[in-house]
Amino acid sequence: MIVVDTCGPEGPAVYTPQILAKLEQCRTAGEAFDVVTSMTHDLLLRDELPAFWNEWRRSGVDVTCLTIGIGWGAEPFTYEAAINDIASYKALFNAGKYICVQCPDDALRAHAARTPGIVLAFQNTTHFGDSLERLAQFAQLGVRIMQLTYNTRNLIGDGCMERNPQGLTEFGKKAVRSMNELGVIVDTAHCSEETSFDALSVSSAPIAITHTMSRSEYAHDRAKSDELIKAIGTDGYVGVVAVPFFLTVEEPATLDHWLAHVDHIVELVGTEHVGIGTDWSPEFAPRLIELQNAEIGNLGFRPEHQVDFGAKVQGIDAWADWPKLLDALRAHGYTEGEVEDLAGRSFLRFFRDVTS
C-alpha cells in the first residue's frame, strides 16, 4: 500500500535544544520558520538528526505534498519565499534525502526505495503574480500542485474567506489553461465556490480539492458544498483534512468527527476519488504556536474561524501518528481495498490523469 498525504508537512517535527533556543529569540512566524527549516535541513544534510527519519518511518507515509513559499509576515506567499524554499529542498533532493515527486512513477519509486517523497506545492498563486512565464518557470523547477488562491482575493480569483466572492478572472482562466499544458494539478482547496466552479469549467484536466471538509458536516468557511464536491470529485480528487477546528465546533475534536467528514464525502463521490490531506502537524513548538496564532490574520483567517496552532484531534499527537487514521477507517468498516484508495491510490490515479 502506498500512502500519500496530499497536504502534509515536510515530515515529523523534531526540535533539538539548539533549535528551541533559537526559536525563543524569534519575533515573527516567518523568522521562526526560517530558523526551523534552515537548522533542520543542515542537520539532515549532515546525517545528524536520526530521530527525524525514525519518525518518518513510523508515520508510514511514502509521499507528502508540501506547501512551500508561505513566507508569513504582512505579505506572505511571495516569489522570493518560493525561490528560497525551492533552493533549500533542491539541496536535499540532490543529496538523496528525499525524492522530488513530479509524476506518479516518482511516487512509486519513492515507495520502492523507502525514501520519503515530496510533491512541491503552492497554496497561492501570488508567487508568480501576473506572469505566466514565472508560472512555467515554477513548473520547470518541480512545483506540481498550484492552489489558485489562498483565503482572499488575488489576480486569479477569490478565496473562501471573501465576503462577496467572485469567480475566475480572465487572467485566472489563462493560468488554469497554462497549468493544464504543464501537467500541474489545479487545486481549489482554499478557493471560493465561484472560483472553484469556474476552474472546473475551464480546465481540460480533472482538478483537485487537496485538503478540505464537508460543509454538510460543519458549516465552516473552509468547507465545501456537496454540489462542489460532487462536481470536482466525479473525475477529480478530494482530500479530507485532519485539522481539529475545521472538523467541528466541539472540543475536543475526535477521530469520529474526522470519520463523519470522510463518510459524507465518500458517499458523494466514492473512495476512488477521496484521500487524506491532513493539513496539520500537531506538534509545533510553543514559540511557533504563539507566533503563528498572533499572525494568522495576515492569511485571511478571522476570529470566528477558531484557528489555534496548538489544537489537536484527540489521539493524534504527532504527524507520525498517521497510521491511527488508517486504523480508524478499518475499525469504522472500510474494506482494505477502500483503505488503500483513501491512503493514496486514489490520488495517484488522479495524478496520472493530470500528468499523462
Q: Note whether 253 and 261 are within 8 A (CB).
A: no
Element (H, E) at 201: helix 193-202
Radius of gyration of the chain (CA): 19
CA–CA gap between residue 86 and residue 68 (Å, rounded): 8
CA–CA gap between residue 212 and residue 128 (Å, rounded): 24
pLDDT of residue 70: 94
Taken as a whole, the chain contains a residue count of 356
Q: Note whether 261 and 213 are within 8 A (CB).
A: yes
Please list the rounded mean pLDDT of every run of 10 residues in the chain (356 residues).
Answer: 97 96 96 95 98 97 97 90 97 98 98 98 98 98 98 97 95 98 98 98 98 98 98 98 97 97 98 97 93 93 93 95 98 98 98 94
pLDDT of residue 74: 82
Give the class (CATH, top level) of 4-355. Answer: alpha beta
Phi-psi region at 11: left, alpha or beta (left = phi > 0; alpha = psi -120 to 50): left
Q: What is the DSSP string of 259-310?
A: HHHHHHHHHHH-GGGEEE-----S---HHHHHHHHHHGGGGT--GGG---TT
Which of these, 146, 175, 150, 144, lies nearest to 75 by C-alpha position?
Answer: 150
Q: Note whether 237 and 209 are within 8 A (CB).
A: yes
DSSP state of 224: B
Beta-bridge partner residues of 99: 117
pLDDT of residue 281: 87
pLDDT of residue 282: 82
pTM to 2 decimals? 0.97
Which of these, 18, 35, 52, 32, lies nearest to 287 by C-alpha position?
Answer: 32
> What residues does each domain of the chain span?
4-355
